[in-house]
Amino acid sequence: MTKPSSVAGRTINLELQILVRTLKESHLWRGDLRKNPDVENSGYQRLTEINNRNFHVISEADLQRLEMVAASKDAWLVAYCAMIIAANTGVRGCELKRLRLKDVDLKGRGITIA
């Protein structure tokens, strides 16, 4: 299988990781891709990921527009809350994904990042 040129290796690696995790949680996973005889190409290797450090800080106007749009639909509540936490704390995406309700102290107005 070859990857389309418009999809980054990181995207495919992350999607495969989600698939494997889902199969493991459903008790349908039978081991490592590299050693699994059921996999047609047992020499599986993760795709190369390019470390792209090009980023920019979002402007105040864009942040306000993002907040307005995210708050406009009930179905986007999780994305809205994640955006508010990220914009006001500076947590990274990986830290935000691991954040649990028990890590939030509403009275003390703080969060614990583990």
Residue among 80, 77, 56, 78 at smallest CA distance from 66:
80
Q: What is the mean pLDDT of residues 76-98?
A: 84
pLDDT tens digits for range 44-85:
677 887 776 676 777 889 888 888 888 898 888 888 888 888
Residue-level pLDDT at 11: 80
Q: Indicate the pLDDT class of residue 40, thresholds 50, 70 and 90.
A: low
Helix 77-89 with 60-70: angle, nearest 10 deg: 150
Nearest-angstrom CA–CA distance, 49 and 10 = 5
Residue-level pLDDT at 80: 87
Nearest-angstrom CA–CA distance, 49 and 14 = 11
SS3 label, residue 65:
helix
Question: What tokens were used for 25?
Answer: 């949680």
More confident residue, 105 or 37: 105
